[in-house]
Amino acid sequence: MSQLSQKHLLGIKDITRKDIELIFETARSFKEVINRPIKKVPSLRDITIANVFFENSTRTRLSFELAEKRLSADVINFSSSSSSVKKGETLLDTVNNILAMKVDMVVMRHSSPGAPHFLAKHIDANIVNAGDGTHEHPTQALLDTYSIMEKHGSVEGLKVAIIGDILHSRVAISNIFALQKLGAEVMVCGPNTLLPKYIASLGVKVELDVRKALQWCDVANILRIQLERQQIKYFPSLREYSLYYGVNKRMLDELDKEITIMHPGPINRGVELNSDVADSEHSIILEQVQNGVAVRMAVLYLLAGGK
């Protein structure tokens, strides 16, 4: 069984281009598996995986659970809203109690940046970061870049614009790292108030005009406004944001080329993306969802190779 260079998947920043290519190669095989009539393989039959989610999630949690079950792993689901965390139990105590039940791998989402890294220093099980605050979301970036590669044949040399709420987005940061490691040019676009001060230091282009960003790029990855993370108002209203930064069919028709539209979900239709774009032939949003299962299967399988 092939292995990644790391024991854990904590962030794209920590892994190599070779790791990413190995994940993609493995995901390609697993995508064939999930399109068969019998969608299960016994690859992780003796592995127990705990999905430990301290934040709300629908897509990511379902995608990981489905990936685990397709690999025949035993799955435990943990939600902080119905756990002893509500009674004051610490993160480390919670996870150690789960590990006492002989769990081999932990998939964790947490609102605090660095929570999976903290855990990795204290426990022996493999850890997969399913999103830590506004820091990283590595499997989303992997499935996004895999979807781009599947659509365009290669990521090398492509121009990718990430448009929207960059400041609060863990998806944006992980995507920047993944795309750059695979040789793409990256631009971020959004209102000045939603762009981190340090963003240019990551080697990306910065654009405030969404039309210019769309004209520049081959692929546009549109991000939602993360109102749940915003403590202050960063723009006057959703209506005004939509007016200046919402992507619609008319804007795409004005371009002198065809571009690919992506969105990590959930979509706020009529805000950052209109339905006539989300459901158009330009969009690969549903392909991203399907690829998410295959990519997460690949990550879990390769991390288990170190056991």
The secondary structure of residue 1, as a DSSP letter, is -
CA 127/CA 9 separation, integer angstroms: 6
Residue 226 annotated as binding site: no
Residue 87 annotated as binding site: yes
CB-based contact 108:127 (threshold 8 Å)? yes
Query: HEC states along 98-145?
Result: HHCCCCCEEEEEECCCCHHHHHHCCCCCEEEEEEECCCECHHHHHHHH
Residue 265 annotated as binding site: yes
Q: Which residues have a Cβ under 8 Å from the Cβ of 57 and sit 6 or more positions away? A: 109, 130, 131
CA 282/CA 241 separation, integer angstroms: 22
CA 61/CA 75 separation, integer angstroms: 12
Residue 109 annotated as binding site: yes
Q: Specify the residue for token string 């791998």.
A: 105
CA 199/CA 60 separation, integer angstroms: 26
Helices (H) then strands (E): counts for the chain? 11, 9
Binding residue numbers for carbamoyl phosphate: 59-60, 109, 137, 140, 265-266
Binding residue numbers for L-aspartate: 87, 170, 224
Binding residue numbers: 59-60, 87, 109, 137, 140, 170, 224, 265-266
